[in-house]
Chain A
Amino acid sequence: MARGRNIDEKDLLAAGTDLIEREAVLVDERRWDEWLALFTPDCEYWMPAWKPDDTLTADPSRELSHFYYASRAGLEDRIFRIRSNRSPASTPLPRTTHVITNARAIEPPAPDRMRLRSNWVSHVFFPRSELSHAFFGHVEHTLVLHDTWLIAKKRIVLQNDYIPTMLDIYCV
C-alpha cells in the first residue's frame, strides 16, 4: 500500500515536472498561445518585490509586486504587447533560454492538485543593446488537474531584483 502511494507520487511529480519544463520551452520558443493555455483562466501570477529586511512582499493588495495578476487576462495583455510590434522593448524580442532544475513537491501531491518548487535561470539576450543578462530565482507552481494538468498559481521569486533596463514575463 505504502509502495503503491510512492509510485503514484512519482507519477504525479513526473507529470508536474513535465508541465513546468514544457512551460519554459514554450516561452523560449515563443509559442505564446500554447503557453497561455497552460494556465487556468482564474490563475494567479505573482512576482513579489523585495523589502529592506530581506523578505518578500507578502500581500499583493497591501504591498508592491513586480507582477500581480489575479487572472490569466494579465498574461494576455503581455502577449498582446509582445505581438503588437509597437513596443520598443519587445522589438526585436529578446531571446531567452530557461534552465529549470531541482523540482520538488512542497507538500505531498494529491491526485488533482500539487505544489512544486523549482529553481530557474533565464539567460536573456537583448538584441537592441547586444547585451546578455541572467535572471535567476525559484518558483512555486500550484498545478490542478482538469482534462490535463494546468497552472492555477505561479509565484516567482526573483533573486537579482536590481533590474538592468527592463524585465518582461519571458525573462523569468
Chain B
Amino acid sequence: MAPRDMRDLVDDRPEEGVFRVHRDVFADPELYELERKFVFERTWNFLTIESQVPKPNDFVTCWIARTPVIVTRDPENRVRAFLNVCRHKGAMIAAAEQGNTRYFVCPYHGWAYDCAGRNRDIKDRAAGAYPPSFDAENHDLVALPRIESYKGLVFGSLSPDVPPLEEFLGEMKVFLDLAMEQGPNGMEFVPGRVAYTYRGNWKLQLDNGVDPYHLTSTHVSFIGIQARRRQGEGNLDARQFDWAKRAKRQSGVFCFPHGHSVFWTDQPEAEKRPIYPTIDEVRARVGPVRADWMLRARNIQVFPNMQIADAMTLMLRTFRPIAVDRTEMRSYCLAPIGEKPELRAWRLRQFEDFFNPTGLATPDDTVTYEDCQRGMSADGFSWLQGYARGIAGLAPGANAPAQELGLAPAASAIGTFETGPETQFHPAYREWRRLMAAGFAGRKAY
C-alpha cells in the first residue's frame, strides 16, 4: 500500500477546534493489514491478570492481534509470555484457554516445552539424523520481547522497542489502581467465559466503551426496564442505580499520552455498588479521595486493546481484531478476591444484566456496531462527525478533579453527563496516527 498522508485519515487541529476521523480508518482492508503491524505489534498490549495464573505451571492463552500467546507462571514462580507456536512446524501448542501443565506437548510431532519456555524434548531426536546446524539452533519457545505487570495487570509487546510499561501507562496507573485496589487481597476474574464477536472494526468497541452519548438512545429499552424496576417490577436482583438521576450529574474527561483516556461521572446511588458495604475498609486502605473515586463511574481505555468500565458494575474487556470488519470480544467480571458471597452475587447479577452479550444492553451495542460498519463501507462520504462533542469544553492540563487525584493529564474537561463528550476518543486516534505514520515512514514506534 502506498503511504497515506495521516492528515487525510485523522484530522487533528486542536488550535482550530477540529478533530475528525475518516471512515477508511474503520473500513479500509489495506489500512487494517498495516495497523496490525504498525499498531498492535509495536506497542504494549494487555494480556491477562496475574491471578489467572496463581500457581507454578498455570497458563492462559491469549492473542496480540493475529499472534497467539501463552502466559505462564514458570516453575520459578515468574510470569512469562511466549508465542503459542511450536518451533517445529508452527502448530499452536496450547489449545486450552487456561490450565496447569508441566509440559506443553505439541500435538503434531510431539515436541515438548515447559512453562519456562524451554524445549524439553524433540521426539526421537537421537535417531533423527539431524545435522550439526540444527543442533546449534535454539529450540525453545519464542519469548515475547517484553512482558511487564502493573498491579497484577500483565502486558506484553511483540516489539522490544517500547518504553517501560509504567512509562507507557503514565497517569493511567491511577485509574488502574482504582480498579485493582478495590479488594484488600487483590482482584480476580470471576469464573465463567464470555466470548463473542461482531462484524465490525475493533475501533467501534474502542469508541463505544468510553462513549456516554449513545446511552440514552441505544439503550432506551434498558432505561425503560430501569424505570419499571423503580416501580418494583422486573429483576430487582440486578440493583441498577437510577439512570434518570444521572443526566445532570457532574462528569468529565481526562486525555493522556499513548492513547489512553478516561470518562467519569458522579454516580447517583453509590449504595447500589457492591463495594459500597466495604467502603470503610477501602477508605482506610486507599484514602478518602481514591475511595470516593472508586464510587464514581469510570470508563477507561488503555490503548490499544483493553478497557475497564466501572459504572453498572466493574468489568474488564479486551478485544482482538480478526478482520477489518470482524472483532472478538472477551469480557470479564473483575471482583475482589475473597469477596463475601452476597456481594459477589450482587455483582454478578449487575454484570449479567448489562454487560453480557446475552444481557439487556450489550446486544444493542453490537448490532449497532454492525450498522456502523456497513455504513462506513459506503462510498460518498469521508469524515465522521462523531468526535466533536465537548471540544469547546476541553482545556489543556489539569482541572480541579484531576488535581484532586494529583494528575496532570494532557487535557481535561468537566461538564454534566448530558454533555456526552467525544474528546476522550481523541487520544486513541492521535496515538493510532502516530504509530501508523511511524510505520509508513519506516521509523521505530518509540
Contacts and interface: CB of A to CB of B under 8 A. Distances in A.
Interface string B182-205: 000000001111111111000000
Nearest to B218: A88
Contacts of A73: 233-236
Nearest to B228: A80
Nearest to A77: B234
B17 interface: no
A66 B221 contact: no
A50 interface: yes
Interface stretch (A6-14, A111-119, A156-164): A156-164
Given A57-B192, A68-B352, A86-B220, A47 B363 contact: no
B193 A49 contact: yes
B303 interface: no
Given A62-B341, A88-B371, A167 B192 contact: no
Contacts of B357: 163, 165-167
B406 interface: no
A65 interface: yes
B292 to A, nearest CB: 28
A82 to B, nearest CB: 8
A52 B363 contact: no
B351 A88 contact: no
A35 interface: no
Contact of A87 (B99, B195, B356, B364): B364
A64 B330 CA distance: 13
B199 A129 contact: yes
Contacts of A71: 235
A128 interface: yes
Interface string A67-85: 1111101101110110010
A63 B191 CA distance: 5
Contact of B233 (A51, A76, A165, A167): A76
B136 interface: no
B362 to A, nearest CB: 7
Contacts, number: 147
Contacts of B237: 69-70, 74
Interface residues of A, number: 43
Contacts of B16: none
B192 A64 contact: yes
A78 B197 CA distance: 22
Contact of A86 (B98, B221, B348): B221
Interface string A31-66: 000000000000000011111110001001111111
Interface in B214-247: 218, 220-222, 224-225, 228-229, 233-237
A49 B363 contact: no
Contacts of B218: 88
Given A88-B368, A167-B357, A68 B197 contact: no
A89 interface: yes
Name which of B235, B364, B370 has the most chain A CB atoms within 10 A of its CB: B235
Interface of A: 47-53, 57, 60-71, 73-74, 76-78, 80-81, 84, 86-90, 128-129, 161-168
13 contacts: A49-B191, A49-B194, A52-B99, A61-B342, A61-B344, A63-B190, A64-B333, A64-B352, A87-B222, A88-B364, A88-B367, A129-B199, A167-B363
Closest 8 CB pairs of A and B: A64-B192, A49-B192, A166-B363, A52-B98, A89-B363, A87-B221, A61-B345, A86-B220
Given A63-B190, A66-B194, A163-B196, 12 more contacts: A49-B193, A52-B193, A62-B190, A64-B351, A65-B352, A66-B356, A77-B228, A81-B360, A89-B363, A129-B199, A162-B195, A164-B197
Interface of B: 96-99, 190-199, 218, 220-222, 224-225, 228-229, 233-237, 333, 341-342, 344-345, 348-349, 351-352, 356-358, 360, 362-364, 366-368, 370-371
